[in-house]
Structure 1
Amino acid sequence: MSTSLLSPSDTTGFGGIVKEYAWQWQNQPLRVVYETLGNGSPILLLPAFSSVSTRAEMAQLAKLLSPHFQVVAVDWPGFGQSSRPSLDYRPEIYQQFLADFVQAVFTTPIIVIAAGHASSYVLQLAHQQPDTFSKIVLVAPTWRGPLPTMGANPQVGGIVRGLVRSPILGQILYKLNTTPSFLRFMYRRHVFVDTAKLTPNFIAQKWQTTQKPGARFASAAFVTGNIDAVHNQSDFLALVESLTVPLMVIIGESSPPKSRTEMQTVAALPKVSSVVLPGSLGMHEEYPQEVFAAIDDFLHTPQN
């Protein structure tokens, strides 16, 4: 488990130093790409899980933070520029990856900013290893994949996941669900608020992310709920209540109603700081300046 610099020709997410973390899962080697920018106390940025997940969605927030912190943003295994093998993606993979990555890259407790579905993994690691993080910021936190949110049971999710993983039919189904027009529809529905930001170039970049070899495997696991780290709200809330470090929750005022209600339930817990800002599930990418302004004092306030 080592790190190395990538060649200058590699595409970067936000103009930082791009590195590679060599990781293994059950003897399967994976190349995990991450990027660092700035100097100072370390902050880990974890992008949301989605079919278009990449550290680049954290780019503007990283740039805003970099004058004060050393920012590290990572592409989850199976997403972004990281390896995308045909693993049976499930929570154990990401739980182990996050623990190993933090241990390999950082030497002191760190601040972590996690978007969307990454929240559960952060909370689990904080529960298991309380000295890992010094502060936690959850931006539009979610814990349930799209199909379970729509009411599909695990059996239906398993069937869909199996179809998408199949060699020929799976590729066809995946391509139909990642066309530029479908990506635009999904962004307008519950990711971005300002549709003027969904330019042809923006959508084209997102589409290119979905078309990398092996992209459908981790994406199908997310959509069908196979990488849901918790399976009910009470477990998510219990993780929050078990925290021994400061927590701040950022809620998008235009989040889907069910998701917003669940976020507000978290925000109502004792000792949880919270704020409601413009945006929806992609607010960390759409409104990075507002997110930065909201968390700035929290990040700099000394712990009691």
Structure 2
Amino acid sequence: MKTTVEQRRVNVGDLTIRYLTAGNGNGGDPPLILLHGDGESALDWSWVLPMLAATHRVYAPDFPGAGDSSKPNIVYSPEFYTQFVADFLDTLGLRRVVVVGNSLGGQVALRFALSYPEAVTALVLVSSSGLGELVNPFLSQLTLLWYGEAAIAWSKTPLGAKQRAWSRAVLLFADLNRIPAEWVVEQERMAQMPGFLEANLSSLRTQLNVFGQYKILLDSLPQLQIPTLVMWGDRDQILPKEQADNGVKRLQKGQLILIPDCGHLPQIEHPELFTSALLEFLDKIT
């Protein structure tokens, strides 16, 4: 039977949040919360959500400032997103969950697990930020005064939106032949949405400067008492795979999986491998 993915909206405080959801779960299995990265949306999980929903209830929100969620003119920091996750789960009445985060979503998932350990049964960090200083200069240079604003102005135009989408694609995917057309369309669409690029730039500037990442959470990893899977593409051009190694070494219950021939978005570029690795991890801990 084909899994139906529903698109819903919910008010979280003053914000209207769009999220995707599917599945009923098996017995007492905790639901999965899927958190996307900077400059992305819940669409990133579309390629794995139906497979995960065969065994779990799954929720994938658009962060505030992204996708079809509200985009207020505020500072979009990792701390803000962490509180948003807490409020989102509270609004939906979800008490115990598995949190899966990619890139910025990984850092937010980690911060949430550290701040609300009673709410998280397991953690999955997918090419997560916050585990080392190095980051691709394509992102860190956007934090320069005026450079980011100039990039926004150009990327809001139809031609600029296309160029932005394909520039990101070259960095985020290991093989351009594996870039879904739907992902490119979503990137172009969001670039021309009021407030999206401004929110993205705000988020980047709260995490990066021209030298790289400055909010590093490696020293906090030993505090985690829960099973944690670190998953990384072995050809990630945004965050080097050595950051995955350094992170796992500090975890009490950590496991590392490298996805071969894969960039920064394993859930899109290799959805079957991603899903298989994630479900195998969950089977072992339940």
Q: TM-score range by the shorter chain?
A: 0.7 to 0.9
2:177 to 179, 185, 196: 196
Letter in 2 for 1:300: D
C-alpha change, 1:178 and 1:243, in structure 2 (3 Å) is farther
State the partner residue of 1:281.
264
Task: Give structure 2 stretches of 5+ with no counterpart.
Answer: none
Instruction: Among all aligned residue pairs of Structure 1 and Structure 2, give the percentage whose two residues are the same amino acid.
Output: 20
1 CA distance for matches of 2:82 and 2:227? 21
SS at match of 2:123: strand
Give runs of aligned pairs for residues 1-304 of structure 1, distance below 5 A: 15-24=4-13, 29-40=14-25, 41=29, 42-50=31-39, 53-143=40-130, 150=137, 157=143, 159-160=145-146, 164=149, 172-175=153-156, 178-189=160-171, 191-198=172-179, 202-226=183-207, 231-233=214-216, 236-256=217-237, 259-269=240-250, 270-278=252-260, 279-302=262-285
Contact 2:99 2:123 in 1 (8 A): yes
C-alpha change, 1:171 and 1:275, in structure 2 (3 Å) is closer
Contact 1:89 1:226 in 2 (8 A): no
Task: Give structure 1 stretches of 5+ with no counterpart.
Answer: 1-13
Deviation at 1:127, TM superposition (A): 1.4
Deviation at 1:131, TM superposition (A): 0.7
C-alpha change, 1:85 and 1:144, in structure 2 (3 Å) is farther
Q: Which moved more, 1:127-136 or 1:248-257?
A: 248-257
Deviation at 1:239, TM superposition (A): 2.5
SS at match of 1:159: coil
Letter in 1 for 2:223: S
SS at match of 1:209: helix
CA RMSD of aligned residues (A): 3.1
Q: TM-score, normalised by structure 2?
A: 0.84
Letter in 2 for 1:218: A
Deviation at 1:255, TM superposition (A): 1.1
1 CA distance for matches of 2:138 and 2:44? 28
Letter in 2 for 1:248: L
Cα deviation 1:221-254 (Å, max 9, x = unaligned): 13334589x8343xx1123211111000001110
SS at match of 1:131: helix
2 CA distance for matches of 1:183 and 1:153? 17
Cα deviation 1:262-287 (Å, max 9, x = unaligned): 12211233431111113111112111
SS at match of 2:247: helix
Count residues with an aligned counterpart: 274
Deviation at 1:112, TM superposition (A): 1.2
Contact 2:238 2:264 in 1 (8 A): no
Deviation at 1:130, TM superposition (A): 1.0
SS at match of 2:241: helix
1 CA distance for matches of 2:93 and 2:145? 40
Cα deviation 1:147-189 (Å, max 9, x = unaligned): 97539989x836248x62xxxx675244369531332122113
- Runs (4+) off by over 6 Å: 144-148, 151-154
SS at match of 2:107: helix
Letter in 2 for 1:48: G
Q: TM-score, normalised by structure 1?
A: 0.79
C-alpha change, 1:90 and 1:170, in structure 2 (3 Å) is same
Contact 2:78 2:203 in 1 (8 A): no
Contact 1:221 1:227 in 2 (8 A): no
